[in-house]
């Protein structure tokens, strides 16, 4: 079965998504997510101008060879644009292979390791009480794991909190919004949030928190220590990870579990974190780390060190990524948890899918492939709209990490 056509589809049903569609000479098609939030068109060009021609005529079943061809063959390895493009090709080809085999994708990966995939939802509010009420709502909906973020007194905005709490969307403006950040106020506030949540809900649910790269390693260690009594499932991205060694310092001080990796592109970004067992969960997902083929290598390395997966699942990852990730999660022996943010209704209409939520778990569907498709006619009704993530500054104007 040969690759006959390669098409890039951009749509904005509430937010931008880039989808790659590969069709074979036998009429089977597969799709992959290539969305890179705030830098979408760079991946569109990469695929259209530099990948599409190289794929036409190749054996659609040679997934590994095509992966190596695109990775080694471009000479310029790694990086978010390259790896999102490779990830989309890889996901579409796995979709095709599974459809051709008449099997749900998880069967090709090695079969089912669990009945369902535990997910966590996002509870947030302008203050602790509002967040606490949101946590109550998620518990009501059947979630067993909930990420909690709250506005910080004295700060106008912070990561994870917005007016539309069920559908938090950080890429909110045609030019980056400028936020102001205070580490002192934040560090003072977060333990109070979890103190209240454990007091109100007890210890029967998993609670998670995303620091979103904002602390230094020593500050992260301090936060980890101050959250230990509340037994978090994880503390996410406590500090930036260009320097993987920074995590040695955090690890030395706290037993609060750590999750990292949503912005990683390859196994090389986390090799030391994994092999030195400096984290507990690896957050990389299908879209940004070279597809199923490469994510599997990362998960296998993590498994050697008892590190589990916790795939990124924010709204900027399309339902195509979610579908593929769920098949991956259904197979991965060292699966930990899956992030699940609801997509808006128009998004779900553009991307019909067969995964479903029940009792705190998502379930991959049984249809052949990864179970997600794109309605191209509907997609065409939502043209691309420029949207950026915010930036962060300290109170004196210094640029900080968002």
Residues known to be catalytic: 159, 212
160 to 189: interface string for ligand GCO, x by CB under 6 A: ----------x-------------------
Instruction: Kindly tell me the sign of the dihedral angle through the C-alpha atoms of 161, 165, 170, 171.
Output: negative
The distance of closest approach from Cβ of residue 183 to Mg ion in the complex, given in angstroms and rounded to an integer, is 18
| For the chain, counts of helices (H) and of strands (E) | 14, 16
Which residue number places its CB atom closest to Mg ion?
A: 210
Nearer to ligand GCO, 84 or 372 (CB): 84
Q: How far apart are CA 8 and CA 18, in angstroms?
A: 7
Torsion of CA 219, 221, 223, 228, to 10 degrees: -170
Binding flag, residue 40, ligand GCO (CB under 6 A)? no
Residues paired with 209 in a beta bridge: 235
Nearer to ligand GCO, 37 or 330 (CB): 37
Binding flag, residue 339, Mg ion (CB under 5 A)? no
Interface with ligand GCO in residues 278-337 (CB under 6 A): 314, 316
- Residue length of the chain: 402
The distance of closest approach from Cβ of residue 339 to Mg ion in the complex, given in angstroms and rounded to an integer, is 8
Interface with Mg ion in residues 241-270 (CB under 5 A): none
Binding flag, residue 262, ligand GCO (CB under 6 A)? yes
HSE-CB for 228 with a 13 A CA cutoff: 10
33 binds, among ligand GCO, Mg ion, none (CB under 5 to 8 A by kind): none
Nearer to ligand GCO, 157 or 275 (CB): 157
Binding flag, residue 373, Mg ion (CB under 5 A)? no
Binding flag, residue 373, ligand GCO (CB under 6 A)? no
Q: Are strands 234-236 and 206-210 parallel, antiparallel or unpaired?
A: parallel
Given 11, 16, 23, 37, the residue binding ligand GCO (CB under 6 A): 37
Chain centre distance of CA 220: 22
369 — alpha (psi -120 to 50), left (phi > 0) or beta? left
DSSP string, 370-387: SSB---HHHHTTS-----
The distance of closest approach from Cβ of residue 97 to Mg ion in the complex, given in angstroms and rounded to an integer, is 31
Q: How far from 139 is each of 122, 147, 204, 260, CA to CA, in Å?
A: 11, 12, 10, 25
The distance of closest approach from Cβ of residue 336 to ligand GCO in the complex, given in angstroms and rounded to an integer, is 14
The distance of closest approach from Cβ of residue 210 to Mg ion in the complex, given in angstroms and rounded to an integer, is 4
Apex 319 CA angle, 314 and 322, nearest 5: 65
189 to 218: interface string for Mg ion, x by CB under 5 A: ---------------------x--------
Judging by beta carbons within 10 Å of its beta carbon (0-12, 13-18, 19+), is residue 399 exposed, middle or buried?
A: exposed
Binding flag, residue 370, ligand GCO (CB under 6 A)? no
96 to 135: interface string for ligand GCO, x by CB under 6 A: ----------------------------------------
Q: Which residues contact Mg ion by CB under 5 A?
A: 210
Q: Which residues contact ligand GCO by CB under 6 A?
A: 37, 170, 210, 212, 262, 314, 316, 339, 389
């Amino acid at each position: 079965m040969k690759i006959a056509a390669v098409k890039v589809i951009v749509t904005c049903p509430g937010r931008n998504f880039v989808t790659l569609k590969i069709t074979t000479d036998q009429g089977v098609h597969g799709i992959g997510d290539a969305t890179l939030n705030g830098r979408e068109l760079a991946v569109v060009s990469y695929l259209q101008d530099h990948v599409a021609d190289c794929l036409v005529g190749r054996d659609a079943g040679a997934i590994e060879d095509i992966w190596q061809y695109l990775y080694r063959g471009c000479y310029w390895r790694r990086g978010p644009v390259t790896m999102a493009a490779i990830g989309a090709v890889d996901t579409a080809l796995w979709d095709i292979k599974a459809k051709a085999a008449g099997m749900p994708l998880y069967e090709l990966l090695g079969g089912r390791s669990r009945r369902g995939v535990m997910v966590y939802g996002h509870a947030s509010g302008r203050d602790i009480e509002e967040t606490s009420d949101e946590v109550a709502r998620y518990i009501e909906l059947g979630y067993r794991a909930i990420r909690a973020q709250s506005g910080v007194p004295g700060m106008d905005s912070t990561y994870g909190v917005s007016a539309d709490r069920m559908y938090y969307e950080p890429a909110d403006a045609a030019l980056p919004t400028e936020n102001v950040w205070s580490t002192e106020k934040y560090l003072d506030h977060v333990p109070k949030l979890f103190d209240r949540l454990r007091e109100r809900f007890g210890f029967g649910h998993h609670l998670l928190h995303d620091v979103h790269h904002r602390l230094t390693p020593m500050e992260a260690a301090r936060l980890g220590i101050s959250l230990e009594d509340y037994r978090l499932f994880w503390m996410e991205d406590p500090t930036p990870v260009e320097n993987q060694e920074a995590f040695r310092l955090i690890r030395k001080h706290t037993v609060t579990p750590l999750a990292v990796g949503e912005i990683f592109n390859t196994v090389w970004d986390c090799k030391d974190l994994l092999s030195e067992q400096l984290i507990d969960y690896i957050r990389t997902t299908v879209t940004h780390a070279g597809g199923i083929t490469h994510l599997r290598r990362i998960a296998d390395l993590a498994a050697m060190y008892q590190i589990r997966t916790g795939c990124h699942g924010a709204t900027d990852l399309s339902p195509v990524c979610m579908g593929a990730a769920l098949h991956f999660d259904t197979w991965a022996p060292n699966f930990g948890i899956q992030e699940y943010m609801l997509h808006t209704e128009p998004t779900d209409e553009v991307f019909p899918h067969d995964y479903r939520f029940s009792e705190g778990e998502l379930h991959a569907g049984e249809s052949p492939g990864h179970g997600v498709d794109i309605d191209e006619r509907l997609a065409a009704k939502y043209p691309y709209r420029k949207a950026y993530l915010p930036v962060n500054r300290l109170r004196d104007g210094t640029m900080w990490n968002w």
